């Protein structure tokens, strides 16, 4: 097993061979991937060393101290948090070799084509169709495994305007119940049938989009897992998504609670007993969430995330809304001002680098994106606590006969 000491030595070797001050950032990131120091728990040859996941922190600390460039994880969060663990678990060797390196270095941005009008919380109701054409030796259907033709509409697709690839769920068999007839694909966002249109949101900017898919051709070689097994594979993506949103690493009194504590210190005139109580409650909740996220990451070191990640995502969303609301209250009139309503297409969600008004408005989406808080409570009730399940009348009905 790889030890912390061995990782320090490997990191030192990487730095000696590629001085960060004299190496192009992209070249450095590629070399880091090839040295197995990108995500140390991934297999050798795919950016890792099969080492315990917890040891990533050792590498990250050494590289940060040396001023090495990072791959800007916030910009490529969907690729890192959702696509990569799914490709690693269900992809063919060829898919892993093709997709993981440029995903990790940030050369290729990913987005997630899951939600549809009419299939958000009830994602398994999705209507985007994928129809197979078999391949033949003469190049019919473009050769051996053939290809799929995809038609449908997706919505709320974060980063679609930046993405090279998308993870895509589409219905491949309308004759079986809704959870069974779905398959999972990697969609090329440069295909001429992909039309990305911005959706302006509460903050005034457009981080996400609606995406129209018309005759999009996806080679069968870009299918992840077996035909009809897409729902099972999507569970891996969704469980990882909740950890990616709710389980990120923040230092003590970091992130939103740090900003709020600073405002409290700088605004003595705004202090009241009631606001102080709320600040203390927020600080305690932030600390509990930080430690819970740490525990979640340690669990991840020994396997895939389970439904427990729903609790961290739920708590994160609630806390973000409470803390940003309190910050606006403390800042009074200044808090109500909003920096810039100009329509823009940001590359990332920047909670700490923007003003209080932005934080307050953007946090509203936290209880919807990655599964709404109501749905996460259902997951916790049913799959963590084992309480009776919601009644689902369309569970055994062929999808094409279900009410939509």
Ligand X SMILES: Cc1cc2nc3c(=O)[nH]c(=O)nc-3n(C[C@H](O)[C@H](O)[C@H](O)COP(=O)(O)OP(=O)(O)OC[C@H]3O[C@@H](n4cnc5c(N)ncnc54)[C@H](O)[C@@H]3O)c2cc1C
> How many distinct helices (H) and strands (E) make up the chain?
12, 8
Contact by Cβ (8 Å): 215, 149: yes
Quick one: which of 2, 372, 397, 402 contacts ligand X (CB under 6 A)? 372
Residues 230-269 that bind ligand X (CB under 6 A): none
Q: Return phi, psi of residue 198, to 5°.
A: -65, 145
Contact by Cβ (8 Å): 33, 18: no
**Candidates 224-232, 306-314, 322-330, 369-377; binding stretch for ligand X (CB under 6 A):** 369-377
Residues 98-137 that bind ligand X (CB under 6 A): 111-112, 114-115, 120-121
Q: Give the nearer residue to ligand X in terms of CB position, either 57 or 368.
A: 368
Shortest CB 86 distance to ligand X, Å: 14
Alpha-carbon distance 311 to 256, whole Å? 19
Please tell me whether residue 365 binds ligand X under the rule CB under 6 A: yes
Quick one: which of 28, 90, 104, 156 contacts ligand X (CB under 6 A)? 156
Half-sphere exposure of 385 (CA within 13 A, CB side): 12
Q: Give the nearer residue to ligand X in terms of CB position, either 211 or 330.
A: 211
Separation of CA 173 from chain center: 27
Shortest CB 114 distance to ligand X, Å: 3
Residue 241 is a catalytic residue: yes
Shortest CB 307 distance to ligand X, Å: 15
Q: Give the nearer residue to ligand X in terms of CB position, either 39 or 156.
A: 156
Q: Give the nearer residue to ligand X in terms of CB position, either 355 or 369.
A: 369
Please tell me whether residue 39 binds ligand X under the rule CB under 6 A: no
Q: Give the nearer residue to ligand X in terms of CB position, either 275 or 361.
A: 361
Shortest CB 397 distance to ligand X, Å: 17
- Other Cβ atoms within 10 Å of 190 Cβ, number: 9
Closest CA to 316 of 375, 258, 251, 373: 373
Q: Give the nearer residue to ligand X in terms of CB position, either 270 or 375.
A: 375
DSSP 8-state class, residue 52: -
Active-site residue among 62, 108, 116, 241?
A: 241
Closest CA to 49 of 9, 16, 86: 9
User: What one-character-per-residue DSSP string does 319-366 give?
Assistant: HHHHHHHHHHHHHHHHHH--S--S----SS--SSSS-HHHHHHHHGGG
Fill in the per-residue mask, 195 to 234: x = in contact with ligand X (CB under 6 A), - = not in contact. -------------x--------------------------
Alpha-carbon distance 337 to 331, whole Å? 10
Contact by Cβ (8 Å): 218, 130: yes
Point out the residues that are catalytic: 241
Residues that bind ligand X (CB under 6 A): 111-112, 114-115, 120-121, 156-158, 208, 365, 368-369, 371-372, 374-375, 378, 390
């Amino acid at each position: 097993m790889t030890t912390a000491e061995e990782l320090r030595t490997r990191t030192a070797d990487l730095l000696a061979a590629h001085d960060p001050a004299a190496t192009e950032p992209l070249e450095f990131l590629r070399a880091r991937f090839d040295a197995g120091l990108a995500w140390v728990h991934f297999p050798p040859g795919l950016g890792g060393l099969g080492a315990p996941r917890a040891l990533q922190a050792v590498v990250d600390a050494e590289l940060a101290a040396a001023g090495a460039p990072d791959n800007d994880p916030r910009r490529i969060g969907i690729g890192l948090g959702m696509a990569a663990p799914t490709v690693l678990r269900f992809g063919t060797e060829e898919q892993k070799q093709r997709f993981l390196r440029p995903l990790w270095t940030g050369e290729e941005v990913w987005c997630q084509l899951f939600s549809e009008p009419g299939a958000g919380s009830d994602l398994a109701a999705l209507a985007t169709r994928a129809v197979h054409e078999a391949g033949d030796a003469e190049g019919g259907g473009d050769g051996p495994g053939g290809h799929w033709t995809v038609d449908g509409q997706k919505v709320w697709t974060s980063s679609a305007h930046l993405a090279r690839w998308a993870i895509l769920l589409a219905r491949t068999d309308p004759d079986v119940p809704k959870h069974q007839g779905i398959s999972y694909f990697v969609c090329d966002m440069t295909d001429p049938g992909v039309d990305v249109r911005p959706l302006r949101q509460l903050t005034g900017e457009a981080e996400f989009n609606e995406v129209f898919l018309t005759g999009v051709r996806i080679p069968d070689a870009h299918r992840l897992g077996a035909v009809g097994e897409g729902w099972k594979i999507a569970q891996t993506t969704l469980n990882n998504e909740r950890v990616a949103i709710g389980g990120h690493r923040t230092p003590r009194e970091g992130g939103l609670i740090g900003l709020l504590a600073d405002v409290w210190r700088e605004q003595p005139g705004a202090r009241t007993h009631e606001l102080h109580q709320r600040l203390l409650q927020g600080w305690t909740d932030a600390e509990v969430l930080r430690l819970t996220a740490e525990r979640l990451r340690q669990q991840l070191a020994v396997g895939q995330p389970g439904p427990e990640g729903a609790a961290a995502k739920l708590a994160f969303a609630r806390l973000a809304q409470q803390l940003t609301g309190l910050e606006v209250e403390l800042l009074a009139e200044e808090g109500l001002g909003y920096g810039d309503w100009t329509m823009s297409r940001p590359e990332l969600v920047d909670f700490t680098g923007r003003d209080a008004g932005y934080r307050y408005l953007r946090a509203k989406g936290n209880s919807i994106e990655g599964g709404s808080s109501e749905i996460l409570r259902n997951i916790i009730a049913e799959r963590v606590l084992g309480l009776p399940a919601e009644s689902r009348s369309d569970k055994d009905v062929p999808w094409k006969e279900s009410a939509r």
